[in-house]
Homo-oligomer: A and B are copies of this chain.
Amino acid sequence: MTRVAAVIMAGGRGERFWPASTSSRPKQFIDLTGDGTLIQQTVARISRIVPLRQIYVITGAQYLDMARAQLPRIPTQNFLVEPVGRDTAPCMGLAALFLERLDPDTVMVALPADHHIADEDRFCDLILQATEAAAELDHVITFGILPERPETGYGYIEMGDVTQRTTGGTIYHVRRFVEKPDRETAAAYAASGRFWWNSGIFVTQAATLRREIAQHLPELHAGLEQINAAGNRAEFDALVALTFPSLPKISIDYGVMERAERVLMIPGDFGWDDLGTWTAIARLRSGDDNGNCLSGNALVEDCEGVLVEAHGERIIAALGLRDVVIVDTDEALLVCTKEQAQHVRRLVERARTAAALLTPAQP
If A315-B357, A319-B340 touch, whether A299 touches B333 (CB-CB below 8 Å) is no
- In the complex, whether A293 has a CB less than 8 A from a CB of chain B is no
Cβ–Cβ contact B313 & A333, under 8 A = no
Cβ–Cβ contact A335 & B318, under 8 A = yes
Which chain B residue has the least Cβ–Cβ distance from A296? B333
Q: Which residues of chain B have C-beta atoms less than 8 A from A304's C-beta?
A: none
Cβ–Cβ contact B355 & A313, under 8 A = yes
Give the dominant DSSP class at A's interface: mixed
Cβ–Cβ contact A321 & B336, under 8 A = yes
Cβ–Cβ contact A354 & B314, under 8 A = no
If A320-B339, A333-B333, A337-B321 touch, whether A313 touches B356 (CB-CB below 8 Å) is yes
Identical copies of this chain, number: 2
A330 to B312, CA, bound (A): 12
Contact residues, A310-339 vs B (CB, 8 A): 313-321, 324, 326, 328, 330-337, 339
Per-residue contact bits, chain A 106-125, to B (CB 8 Å; 1 contact, 0 not) = 00000000000000000000
Q: Which residues of chain B have C-beta atoms less than 8 A from A320's C-beta?
A: 336-337, 339-340, 343
If A299-B350, A301-B346, A340-B302 touch, whether A335 touches B356 (CB-CB below 8 Å) is no
Interfacial residues, chain A to chain B (CB-CB below 8 A): 19, 297, 299, 301-302, 313-321, 324, 326, 328, 330-337, 339-341, 343-344, 346-347, 350-351, 354-358
